[in-house]
Structure 1
Amino acid sequence: MRQSSCLRTSYEACKKVSAGSSMYQSRTLPQDLINELPEACIAEIFRHVGNPEDRQSCACVCWRRANILVPQRPDFWGPFSVHQGVHPCLHMSDVDDVKLAAAVVNICARGVITDLGLCCAPCGTVVAGVPRLTDSAIHFVSSACGNLKSVCLVDCLSLTDKAARIIASNCPALENFVMLQSSISDDGLPQVAKQCRNLKFLHIEGCLSITEASLRALMQYAKRLESLTLGSCPQIGQDAILSLLMNQPYLDKLELKGMMAGESHMNVARQSSVLHHLCLFRQLSTLILVKCSGLWDLGNA
């Protein structure tokens, strides 16, 4: 089915906006009369859109259209749609709001998706003052794919603590959470620990706003944690790590990368004591120390 001229005009106008998400608002375009219709009527129009690319174009206009398309059952599309095989993983690089919404809309069996991986361009998270990937996109994808067990966010510096709270609320079955180079802080991560009680694997690296408060939340709520990787989180000290170990009976693997950099002033006896305490936790089958000041040297002595 060919796109209506006003839809094509709207979509082409959206593609010309370099920010990618600045136009992605819940708004009604004055020249786009379709948005004046009730949602049931808009859904019936979209039902006749058989070309997946055209369906993606519909989703790329605004959040309202995307939210109309997503809840529809696969059989809603009837004979007009060509269904494709669905993989349990949705991994996207150089992602922004528009790309993510289009990809989600084009997936029929969204309940199959259990693994979400999003990677932003390191130098392009914000264009002309507008975030390319926003918290609204995280709400959209986590609501549509309600069975997520793994979420990986790489270089998503534009996401805020609200995104972490959304993940905590919409992904109760979450088992694996990865944040690499993130702006999420203690206002967000503890909610993941509190609400995702099946959390088993946690990887936090390059998160400058994560402090020992988040580790205390892990001690209190993440009782099933099996693997923890901490890297380049300067506000987390060795005492907090040792306390965490004492309260995690199922923790099997601990990896520290560039941690305790601010504690390099410790004398050899103190460093040796810390390493000794780490080794005392016999539940650990794997202990990896990478560039952890003097601890790394003592571990290889």
Structure 2
Amino acid sequence: MGAENWSSVDGFFLVVFSDLPQLQGPLFIILLLSYLITLVGNLLVMVTIYCNSHLYTPMYFFLSNLSFIDICHTSNILPQMLARFFQEEAHMSMSECLLQMEFFLALMFTEILVLTVMAYDRYVAICNPLRYMTIMNKDVCMQLAVGSWTVGIMFPLTYIALSSVLIFCGSHTINHFFCDLPALMKLTCSSTRQIEMLIYVLGSMITLGSITLIITSYINITSCILKIKSKGGRHKAFSTCASHLTVVLLFYGSACSSYFRPTSTYSMKENKMLSLLYIVVTPMCNPIIYSLKNEEFKKGLRKFNMFQMVAE
């Protein structure tokens, strides 16, 4: 088959999990249940925050942003994947592929930035408690949220622009359950050096910058907490950070292990499983982590009354 560019390619075929026939049935049930739990859990977080005035704080404002990102992130991939689950080669048009890739990368970068802002919020709350509401006022929170979304959406456009000029040879079958950039580069006969460099350079700018800010925030937070004389005060301060830190470790561990490695070491089966971690497991676990580790949120959850809300 001759070389073809994006304009002459009809689309791609996704393998999904047809290469694992013995696991298809159990995987379908597990992923469907995971998607439903993710939707219910994150919607519950957002509604609980909305219905409890004592949760109208910067921390919970950014948490509701995180829950919204998680809903969009899973909804961008899982419904289409589940619809194509039992097809040997599920077709995806070129426009669908580009849109899914843009949404996926935009939401991933936005989540990185929101998690960074949440770390800064915890730093201000613990290290500058008397000035917390002045520093993290409503306007500042809105600007940080809008900035995170704007940068997150704009950043992947360069990836998409370079991907759109790739030349494809031979098979158009992507051995993945969504249109992922590294999987797509496996099919091209163009040089992928530019895109790989872009992934490392631009990805590192956001990721390493984010990790540096998060680590710096938590070094300062730990220093401030250790100065608190009351054991109860130290425990309360640590508990407000524990849920965020757990989410950060879970998200970065799975995402970085999948994307920040050379394509020569790229195993499709291995990467599909790693992708499930940050596309399925992390969004599903986030509301559980926050509801279990955050006493203030659990208090708001107990006060939450769906029937009262409907009546009002």
* TM-score bin (small chain): under 0.3
Give the structure with the higher percent strand: 1
Give the structure with the higher percent helix: 2
Q: Which structure has the higher relative contact order (CA within 8 Å, separation 6+)? A: 2
TM-score when scaled to structure 2?
0.20
TM-score when scaled to structure 1?
0.20
Larger Rg over CA atoms: 1
